[in-house]
């Protein structure tokens, strides 16, 4: 241990970037549910097209957010307390996997591209996102300034 000479080191920690990307993916997944409901009620094919585009964009953004979250975790930007961080991470991963399946369902033709499985998968993803959104309250990052002696 070095002798204390009165110098201090200030470390600032930047917040993680993945929540911003994940919120855009979540917006796309909520939009998918809304356009699935619109297609279910109207049978207007353009709503099914919107759903397919939204779920595809959400999956792409979700994969990018997942990669950035892994980098955030590895470089120490992401902090949390045991179970909530794992439930948050696994919940978001489950939502992404279900969205990939939903994107495959939305590649079908006509009514079966949305009803019933596309609608069910969209609703499940939104429910999971609501739960992980509540869990994100306990998953944060190292905030503020850390002052340590040299």
For helices 117-135 and 18-42, the axis angle rounded to 10 degrees is: 150
| Structural domain total, the chain | 1
Q: Is the pTM above the cut of 0.75?
A: yes
| Residues belonging to the chain | 150
In a domain, 150, yes or no: no
The number of C-alpha atoms within 13 Å of 68 and in the hemisphere containing its C-beta is: 14
What are 102-121's pLDDT values in tens digits? 999 999 988 999 999 999 99
Domain limits for position 130: 15-139
146 pLDDT band (50/70/90 cuts)?
very low
Does a structural domain hold residue 4? no
Least confident of 22-26, 31-35, 73-77: 73-77
């Amino acid at each position: 241990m070095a002798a204390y000479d009165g110098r201090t080191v200030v470390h600032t920690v930047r917040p993680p970037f993945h929540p911003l990307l994940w919120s855009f993916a979540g917006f796309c997944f909520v939009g998918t549910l809304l356009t699935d409901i619109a297609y279910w009620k109207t049978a207007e094919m353009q709503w099914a097209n919107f759903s397919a585009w939204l779920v595809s964009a959400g999956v792409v953004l979700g994969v990018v957010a997942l990669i950035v979250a892994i980098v955030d975790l590895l470089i120490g930007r992401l902090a949390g307390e045991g179970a909530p961080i794992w439930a948050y991470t696994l919940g978001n991963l489950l939502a992404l996997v279900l969205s990939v399946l939903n994107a495959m369902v939305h590649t079908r033709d006509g009514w079966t591209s949305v009803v019933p499985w596309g609608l069910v998968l969209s609703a499940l993803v939104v429910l999971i996102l609501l739960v992980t959104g509540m869990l994100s309250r306990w998953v944060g990052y190292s905030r503020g300034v850390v002052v340590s002696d040299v």
